[in-house]
Amino acid sequence: MARTTGSHSDITGPRIRAAALTLFARYGFAAVSMRQIAKEVGVQAGALYNYTPDKQSLLVELMRDHMVELLAAVQDDDRAAPVVRLERFVRFHIGFHHERPDAVFIAYMELRNLEPENFAEIETLRRRYEGVLERILDAGMARGDFAVADAKVTTWAVIAMLTGVNTWFRSGGRLSLDRVQDQYWQMVRRMVGSVGGSV
Amino acid sequence: MARTTGSHSDITGPRIRAAALTLFARYGFAAVSMRQIAKEVGVQAGALYNYTPDKQSLLVELMRDHMVELLAAVQDDDRAAPVVRLERFVRFHIGFHHERPDAVFIAYMELRNLEPENFAEIETLRRRYEGVLERILDAGMARGDFAVADAKVTTWAVIAMLTGVNTWFRSGGRLSLDRVQDQYWQMVRRMVGSVGGSV
DNA sequence: GATTTATCTGAACAACCGTTCCAAACCAAG
DNA sequence: CTTGGTTTGGAACGGTTGTTCAGATAAATC
């Protein structure tokens, strides 16, 4: 026998990406075989190649989609006060990353499995995202609202701290997402030397 | 022919661990083969099994050694003021991790490749390290030196932020290690609401 | 209902995987 | 110089890897 039932072009594609996302996040790109992905989808390994030229492309596509989504979702209104912009950024980052832990995990862990040109592409997107925060910090410094020693270093510090939430926070635990966002916003506000508001 | 020259029992062992450390950090545990490690050492793959029962043990040993070293190196004098203890911790963490980027990378990235009992062991060591920082924060709160909302959350936030230094900082760049430690200490001090000292 | 087109199966490919084992080669002790 | 133990080379094991492809099947078109 050949195919089992029906034609599933528009169904199989997304299912392959979904399976790859889950499996890559759980076991790592290198540890997951094309046959495992196919099995999860309910298809033979060869069929995957109707949707991706090779395994590497599957990974790149997942990472690129994630980063593009991230950049589309972050919105920074530079007419607002820097403190407001910063608070929005902090809450956004935590919320957005919390909703897609697998994609976040892959985007941070599988960079070394990218071929050079793919790595460069993803890295560019990441830097663009960092740039959003850096501009907020610059604006705050220009207005005297923030007092940070180095905008770049502070950017990396804040993002590392915020992304770290994903390693321990799960819904339904001791703390709600809102509460976590509150706490991290408090920490970030203090970090940048913002004196406005209650402590 | 069999062996080439000499007997190298006490040489080969460390060389295998060193090669595994470098390769695992660069390409990931799953992506590195025993033959690659052997080649780096200048030996056949079979010879590795005089020094490790299997590939997994090689990984666990590297991670355990790193964590044990870390726990041995961190020293916290609980008779000192919490602010002093915290500053020492921040500077220590950055300095220690900067000296062994490969081991740090592996210890954070390869946890998912550990079998359950090995994972539990490494996780215990990691929690013990986090405990050092958490106790400092507790002590500072008890004395009213710090004002943090949640010691556990703050612990994770600080460690994520400090460990993040390894992703961008390299010696010989724009900033010296001392300067980086200064900046991170300033950020952490503000984060915990410590009001003492200059801003 | 016949023909075309998209999709999938199942087998095959060469290469590589972790691990085992025996004989060969070496060093050190007697 | 011989013996004994340690260390290694090299081949072999069964199994898995990413990828290709001809042929089979189903859906879409006419």
Say which of A29, A31, A160 has its CB closest to residue B161.
Answer: A160
Same domain as B129, residue B65: yes
Residue A165 clears pLDDT 60, i.e. is over it: yes
Number of Cβ within a 10 Å radius of residue B84: 12
Higher pLDDT, residue B117 or B198: B117
Sorted by sequence, the CB contacts under 8 Å of residue B12 that are 6+ apart come out as B41, B43, B47, B50, B51
Looking at residue A29, what is its pLDDT? 98
Same domain as A78, residue A35: no
- Residue A166 CB lies within 7 Å of the nucleic strand C: no
Q: Is residue A197 part of a domain?
A: no
Q: Confidence class of residue A199 from pLDDT cuts 50, 70 and 90? A: very low
Same domain as A77, residue A41: no
**Packed helices B177-191 and B151-163: angle between N→C axes, nearest 10 degrees:** 160
What's the average model confidence in pLDDT over A188-195?
Answer: 90
Q: Is residue B198 part of a domain?
A: no
Residue with tokens 């925060």: A133
What's the average model confidence in pLDDT over A162-181?
Answer: 97
Looking at residue A9, what is its pLDDT? 65
Say which of B27, B28, B187 has its CB closest to residue A191.
Answer: B187
- Residue B5 CB lies within 7 Å of the nucleic strand D: no
Looking at residue A11, what is its pLDDT? 86
Q: How far in angstroms lies nucleotide C28's C1' from the CA of residue B73?
A: 39
Rounded Cα distance between A46 and A38, Å, is 8
Same domain as B74, residue B151: yes
Residue with tokens 């460390």: B14
The mean-pLDDT minimum among A54-63, A150-159, B6-15, B28-37 falls in B6-15
Residue A23 clears pLDDT 60, i.e. is over it: yes
Same domain as B181, residue B95: yes
Q: Which nucleotide is nearest to A50 (CA to C1')?
A: C7
Rounded Cα distance between A26 and B187, Å, is 33
Residue B158 clears pLDDT 60, i.e. is over it: yes
Number of Cβ within a 10 Å radius of residue B143: 11
Same domain as A27, residue A98: no
Same domain as B24, residue B77: no
Residue with tokens 């033979």: A44
Smallest CA–CA distance, residue B73 to chain A, in Å, is 24
Same domain as A79, residue A63: yes
Looking at residue A156, what is its pLDDT? 98
Residue A4 clears pLDDT 70, i.e. is over it: no
Across the interface, do A161 and B163 touch by the CB < 8 Å criterion?
A: no
Same domain as B151, residue B92: yes
Same domain as B146, residue B131: yes
Residue with tokens 């604006």: A139
* Among chain B residues 41-100, those with CB within 7 Å of any atom of strand D: 42-47, 50
Q: Confidence class of residue B11 from pLDDT cuts 50, 70 and 90? A: confident
Q: Which long-range contacts (CB under 8 A, 24 or more apart) does B1-10 make?
A: B9/B50
Does residue A180 contact residue A82 with C-beta atoms inside 8 Å? Answer: no
Same domain as B69, residue B28: no
**pLDDT tens figures, A80-97:** 999 999 999 999 999 999
Mean pLDDT, chain A, rounded, equals: 94
Question: What's B91's domain CATH number?
Answer: 1.10.357.10
Dihedral pair phi/psi, residue B138, rounded to 5° = -60, -45
What's the average model confidence in pLDDT over B92-113?
Answer: 97
**pLDDT tens figures, B40-52:** 999 999 999 999 9
Looking at residue B1, what is its pLDDT? 41
Q: Confidence class of residue A194 from pLDDT cuts 50, 70 and 90? A: confident
Same domain as B37, residue B109: no
* CB contacts < 8 A (A, B): 86
- Residue B26 CB lies within 7 Å of the nucleic strand C: no
Strand C positions within 7 A of protein Cβ atoms? 6-12, 16-28
Residue A130 clears pLDDT 50, i.e. is over it: yes
Structural domain containing residue A115: 58-191
Question: What's B28's domain CATH number?
Answer: 1.10.10.60
Residue B32 clears pLDDT 70, i.e. is over it: yes
Residue A195 clears pLDDT 70, i.e. is over it: no
Rounded Cα distance between B14 and B28, Å, is 20
Q: What's the total number of domains in chain A?
A: 2
What's the average model confidence in pLDDT over B138-161?
Answer: 97
Q: Is residue A105 part of a domain?
A: yes
Residue A198 clears pLDDT 50, i.e. is over it: no
